[in-house]
Amino acid sequence: MQVKILQNILEWNKATLRLNGSFIQSWQWGDILIAEGKKVERLAVEKDGVVTIVAQIMYMPLVFGWRYAFCPKGPVGDLNAESLSVLSDYFKSKKIVFWRMEPKEKKDNANLIKSRDINPSSTMILDLQKSEEEILAGMHSKTRYNINLSQKKNLEVKNEKNLSVFWELMKKTGQRDDFRLHEPAHYQAILDSDFSTQLTVYSHDKAIATMVLIGYGDIFTYLFGASDHDYRNLMAPYLLQWSAMMIGKKNGYKSYDFFGVAPNVSGNEHYEYSSEHQYGGVSRFKSGFGADYVEAPGTFDLVINRFKYNLYLYLRKLRRMV
């Protein structure tokens, strides 16, 4: 078993899709990160000539010139004790303090420590292989009503990329819902990618709601959404979601991923969430579309250098106390 760097987009995406990787592990997403100035490395673990794991890594700075490796929504593949050891040895050779990861399944390892989630660990997945009638029937009655209402408001949905429109609506939404935005360059890099789609709802030539989606493999993912609260009575976000689902079906995607919701706190299959969670507001909206709840373990740190890692935690704690 060996670690190697892959430098071919076709080879990388073929392996990532075969191993059911997220769009965040795609070559295209790596290029977006590189455009933002991130140091990215695309690693593959190979056994007997077959790639068993892919891990798109960002090297992130720490104090004292130290670094850690972050693998968002990965590694992807057969992450067993042997492959963990091989990758850890690789990072140790590069003097990495710890390796932050977001695996699909929890792994038993004494050096694996739960961290704060970076990307959302819980989501809703809608089956786009169902008929339009089946999808509508699975929705909450209020959601169906709002979709029907929006379709009667003389709104126009445009499939076009426009950073200016997106940014203006995002600023309004961020201020209203009190969340921090990325820099415009981040959104521009995403829109410049060939696997992104932007839909915008117009009312009499005024943009009132917009969304950005990513299509990768069999999954169409709702990544960002924004709207003008002054036009909330037109139910434009509901029209956007329905339009996105229909575009996903038309383009052959099998699933529609809402990307992030608050964790299920019910203790059973019935979805309940805390309204105090950072995704509490959007969870009420997203859960109305009848998608299935899916949860991953979240974000973990695999410690490479215990002394430096403990010092990093101590300094981080002090910084948060100030």
Cβ-based neighbours of 177, under 8 Å, separated by 6 or more: 281
- Measure Cα distances from 266 to 168, 273, 298 in Å: 37, 7, 18
255 backbone dihedrals φ, ψ, rounded to 5°:
-135, 150
The identity of residue 166, as a single letter, is F
Within 13 A of 44's CA, how many CA atoms are on the CB side?
23
Q: Find the angle CA(246)-CA(248)-CA(251) to the nearest 5 degrees.
A: 110
CB 68 within 8 A of CB 97: yes
CB 222 within 8 A of CB 242: no
Confidence (pLDDT) at 264: 95
Confidence (pLDDT) at 322: 54
What is the secondary structure of 162-220 as a DSSP string? -HHHHHHHHHHHHHHHT-PPPPHHHHHHHHHSTTEEEEEEEETTEEEEEEEEEEETTEE
Ranges of H-type helices in the chain: 9-18, 27-35, 81-93, 132-137, 141-150, 163-177, 184-192, 236-250, 280-286, 306-321
All domains of the chain in start order, with CATH = 2-119+297-321 (3.40.630.30), 122-295 (3.40.630.30)
| pLDDT beneath 50: ranges in the chain | none
- Measure Cα distances from 109 to 17, 53, 82, 85, 114 in Å: 27, 18, 11, 10, 11
* Placement of tokens 């976000």 in the chain: 237
Question: b or e along 131-147 (b: 16 or more beta carbons within 10 Å of the residue's beta carbon)?
Answer: eeeebbebbeeebbebb
Which residues face 301 on adjacent strands? 100, 113
Cβ-based neighbours of 196, under 8 Å, separated by 6 or more: 161, 190, 212, 213, 214, 215, 223
297 cis-preceded (ω within 30 degrees of 0): no
Residue 93 has which token pair? Answer: 């050779």
